[in-house]
């Protein structure tokens, strides 16, 4: 992720029509990622908000907009407005759960994740959004990787077989955030933790925590006691077995490898591939 200094209405990437439409002022570019640009803006009432503009590579995140609209702020930031591939979001704050984890570890961070999970999966009177991404489609890059020659094929074949078995035995399917990890949980000025940047999936609840096993990065990822403890604490919240959670975690690690193998290549992608391959191998050995 790259960040820039103050952005102005003359930013060639900033949709100035949205500033007028939503009565926004003082846009400041706070993040420029592979999928989107995010600006902190000032609303007419003086409050701050986040203007998110998707790039062509981030078109898939529109399903995340639908998820936020359906969730209506239950555990997540609120979607305030949307116009095609851009949206206005509640400002969730600047303190991340990743920073808390770095300072105090899982003992402080995991209980917050456990508080958020029931909110993210709470029933709603509204019907499920129609344009959420199925897990089958979400795993498509994994299935493609399993058919390609290369250094990751054996691991991809294992993960693909696990994924197909898990998908064939889903006991229930619900809307999922789909990218829950410590960097996507922020604390606002009111002290409330909220989840940002959903993928907007629909499928087995056990997949919801899969990315947590590979985050935040560091040697703790390969501590058997940590992995076992996370699976045990999440299992009753998701109404499934710890083993099912671990299987999805191993699958997701290889899905992440498949994403990082896509061009353009970068040092960050190469590092992610190395770390996720180690995470997948470690979880695979635990399952075995």
Question: What is the full per-residue pLDDT of the chain (288 aa) written as tens digits?
Answer: 333 334 455 789 999 999 999 999 999 999 998 899 999 999 999 999 999 999 998 888 999 999 999 999 999 999 999 999 999 999 999 999 999 999 999 999 999 999 999 999 999 999 999 999 999 999 999 999 999 999 999 999 999 999 999 999 998 999 999 999 999 999 999 999 999 999 999 999 999 999 999 999 888 888 999 999 999 999 999 999 999 999 999 999 999 999 999 888 889 899 999 999 999 999 999 998
Number of structural domains found in the chain: 2
Last residue of a domain, one of 75, 90, 105: 90
Same domain, 81 and 105: no
283/163 Cα distance (integer angstroms): 14
Catalytic one of 45, 91, 165, 179 = 179
128 in any annotated domain: yes
pLDDT in tens, 63-75: 999 999 999 999 9
For the sheet containing 193-195, what is the strand order?
95-96, 185-187, 193-195
CATH number at residue 60: 3.30.200.20
Q: Is residue 3 assigned to a domain? A: no
User: Do residues 79 and 101 share a domain?
Assistant: no
Provide the β-strand partners of residue 90: 49
Rounded to two decimals, the pTM is 0.93
For residue 177, give the 3-state DSSP assignment: coil
The model's pLDDT over 48-92, given as tens digits with 9 standing for 90+, comes to 999 999 999 888 899 999 999 999 999 999 999 999 999 999 999
Residue 101 lies in a domain: yes
User: Within a domain: residue 4?
Assistant: no
In this structure, what token pair is assigned to residue 267?
């040092």
The rounded distance, in Å, linking the Cα atoms of 215 and 114 is 15
From 90, 118, 150, give the residue that closes a domain.
90
Tokens in use for 8? 């102005």
Determine the structural domain holding residue 134 and report its residue range.
95-287
pLDDT the model gives residue 266: 86
Cα-based distances in Å from 249 to 17, 66, 100, 133, 143: 42, 25, 22, 18, 16
In a domain, 100, yes or no: yes
Same domain, 161 and 254: yes
Which of 60, 90, 120 corresponds to the end of one domain? 90
Do 201 and 58 fall within a single domain?
no
Note whether 214 and 106 are within 8 A (CB): no
190 is catalytic: no
Q: Both tokens of residue 76?
A: 């997540």
Do residues 36 and 120 both lie within one domain? no
Asked if the structure places residue 201 within a domain, the reply is yes
The reply to whether 5 falls in a domain is no
- Domain co-membership, 86 together with 99: no
C-alpha atoms less than 13 angstroms from C-alpha of 226 in its C-beta half-sphere: 19
Residues 257 and 122 in one domain: yes
């Amino acid at each position: 992720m790259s960040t820039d200094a103050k952005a102005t209405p003359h930013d060639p990437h900033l949709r100035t029509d949205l500033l007028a439409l939503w009565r926004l002022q003082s846009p400041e570019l706070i993040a420029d990622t592979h999928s989107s640009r995010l600006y902190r803006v000032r609303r007419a009432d003086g409050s701050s908000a986040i203007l998110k503009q998707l790039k062509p590579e981030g078109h898939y995140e529109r399903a995340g907009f639908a998820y936020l609209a359906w969730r209506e702020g239950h555990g997540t930031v609120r979607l305030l407005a949307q116009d095609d591939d851009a949206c206005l979001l509640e400002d969730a704050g600047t303190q991340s759960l990743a920073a808390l984890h770095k300072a105090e570890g899982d003992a402080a961070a995991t209980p917050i994740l456990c508080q958020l999970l029931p909110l993210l999966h709470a029933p709603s009177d509204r019907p499920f959004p129609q344009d959420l991404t199925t897990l089958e489609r979400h795993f498509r890059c994994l299935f493609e990787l399993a058919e390609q020659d290369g250094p990751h094929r054996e691991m991809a074949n294992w993960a693909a077989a696990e994924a197909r078995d898990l998908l064939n035995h889903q006991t229930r399917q619900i809307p999922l955030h789909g990218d829950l990890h410590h960097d996507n949980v922020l604390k606002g000025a009111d002290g409330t933790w909220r989840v940002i940047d959903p993928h907007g999936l629909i499928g087995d609840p056990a997949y919801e925590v899969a990315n947590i096993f590979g985050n935040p990065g560091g040697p703790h990822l390969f501590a058997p006691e940590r992995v076992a403890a996370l699976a045990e604490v999440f299992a009753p919240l998701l109404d499934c077995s710890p083993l099912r959670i671990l299987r999805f975690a191993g699958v997701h690690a290889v899905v992440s490898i498949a994403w990082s193998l896509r061009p353009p290549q970068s040092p960050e992608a190469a590092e992610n591939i190395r770390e996720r391959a180690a995470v997948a191998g470690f979880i695979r050995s635990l399952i075995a």
